[in-house]
Amino acid sequence: LDFSVDKKALVDCDIIVEAIVEDLNVKIPFYKNLGQLVKPEAIFASNTSSLAITKMALASGRADRFVGLHFFNPVQLMKLTEVIRTEHTAPAAFELTKQWSDSLGKTSVSCGDTPGFIVNRLLVPAIAQGILMVERGEATVLDVDTAMRLGAGHPMGPLTLADYVGLDTCLSILEGWTGEFPNEPAFVVPESLREKVRAGRLGRKSGHGYYTWDGDKPIAPSSEPLF
């Protein structure tokens, strides 16, 4: 395994998986540069969990050889990958990426370029709805999470998961979606999520969110007011 901080080291790669910061203002110029640098037959694959693949594909100058390839954290334990195609993706490039993903011992699923792909398109709005139930006083944080663990078989409830992922990450995804798709009723930003991020209560990473945390372990629902 070789390491380099020089993008020129990528010029002869057959497939390049990008996992830089989740910001199109960074990714777009990155792909414009990379597309001019790397051999034309190489496949580009973005590991983004929520950003539009098509925008990056067009910026790269090789939209026919551009896919999304979303690995799940922790990568060494999670078996799933989402392989995302755009209307420009060549079938051969898409199938080759799936075969390569499968060769890593992953189970790959196919998806079009929809916001959040499969998992996050279902999961993030569900997190938001759980938070909204708490905001409306319909259920407590603990009751929402217990219900989804024991009633739906989820390994952790939606508010625990939001804290675990990072409330700032959840907010960034939801604000991006609501900004781009303002008429989609599934995309909504809970006000308490905004308030917690504004206050630096980011969940597990800060020790406080909808729960208080001790390292990677949630201790108890936060006693702080939602707003």
pLDDT digits (tens, 9 = 90+) for 10-52: 999 999 999 999 999 999 999 999 999 999 999 999 999 999 9
The verdict on whether 70 is a catalytic residue reads yes
pLDDT of res. 209: 98
With cut-offs at 50, 70 and 90, classify the pLDDT of residue 73.
Answer: confident
Q: For residue 85, give the nearest of 60, 52, 59 by alpha carbon.
A: 52
Q: Name the catalytic one among 70, 88, 154, 208.
A: 70
Hunting for tokens 């199109």 — which residue is that? 24
Q: Is the dihedral of CA 153, 159, 162, 165 positive or negative?
A: negative
**Whose CA is closest to 162, among 189, 199, 183?**
189
Q: What is the pTM of this model?
A: 0.90
3-class DSSP assignment, residue 157: coil
163-173 per-position pLDDT tens digit: 999 999 999 99
